[in-house]
Amino acid sequence: MAFTKMNRLHWHITDAQSWPLVIPTLPELSDAGAYAPGLVYSPGDLADVLQYGKTLGVETAIEIDMPGHTSSIWFSHPELITAFNTQPYETNCAEPPCGSLKLNSTEVYSFLDTMLDDLLPRVGQYSPYFHSGGDEVNVNAYLLDETVQSNDTAVLQPLMQRFIDHVHGKIREYGLTPLVWEEMLLTWNLSMGHDVLVNCWLSDESVVETVEKGHKAIVGNYNNWYLDCGQGQWLNAYRNVSDQYYPWNDYCSPRKSWRLVYSLDPLNEIPENSTHLVVGGEVHLWAEQIDPVNFDKQAWPRAAAAAEVLWSGAKDPVTGQNRSQIDAAPRLSEFRERLVARGVMAEPIQMPFCTQNGTQCYL
Q: Looking at the DSSP assignment, which residues form a beta bridge with residue 263? A: none
* Residues known to be catalytic: 136
The domains of the chain, with CATH numbers, are: 2-313 (3.20.20.80)
**How confident is the model over 75-113, as pLDDT tens digits?**
999 999 999 999 999 999 999 999 999 999 999 999 999
Q: Looking at the DSSP assignment, which residues form a beta bridge with residue 59? A: 8
* pLDDT interval class at 317 (50, 70, 90): confident
* pLDDT interval class at 319 (50, 70, 90): confident
The predicted pLDDT at position 150 comes to 98
Within a 13 Å sphere around the CA of 12, how many CA atoms are in the beta-carbon half?
Answer: 21
CA pair distance 13, 342, nearest whole angstrom: 26
CA angle 82, 87, 91 (to 5 degrees): 75
**Span 124-152, mean pLDDT?**
97
* pLDDT interval class at 359 (50, 70, 90): confident
Q: Is the pLDDT of residue 320 over 90?
A: no
Q: Is the pLDDT of residue 254 over 90?
A: yes
Q: Which long-range contacts does 250-258 make (Cβ < 8 Å, 24+ apart)?
A: 252/222, 252/223, 252/226, 252/228, 253/229, 254/229, 254/230, 255/229, 255/230, 255/231, 256/223, 256/224, 256/225, 256/226, 256/227, 256/229, 256/230, 256/302, 257/302, 258/301, 258/302, 258/305, 258/332, 258/349
The predicted pLDDT at position 311 comes to 95
The predicted pLDDT at position 206 comes to 98
pTM: 0.96
The predicted pLDDT at position 342 comes to 96
DSSP letter, residue 10: E
**How confident is the model over 280-303, as pLDDT tens digits?**
999 999 999 999 999 999 999 999
The predicted pLDDT at position 322 comes to 87
Average pLDDT of the chain to the nearest whole number: 97
Q: Is the pLDDT of residue 266 over 90?
A: yes
Q: Is the pLDDT of residue 358 over 90?
A: no
**How confident is the model over 236-245, as pLDDT tens digits?**
999 999 999 9
Q: Looking at the DSSP assignment, which residues form a beta bridge with residue 81? A: 101
Q: What are phi and psi of 268, to 5 degrees?
A: -60, 120
> Using only C-alpha atoms, what is the Rg of the chain?
21
CA pair distance 276, 312, nearest whole angstrom: 15
Closest alpha carbon to 62 in 45, 77, 78? 45
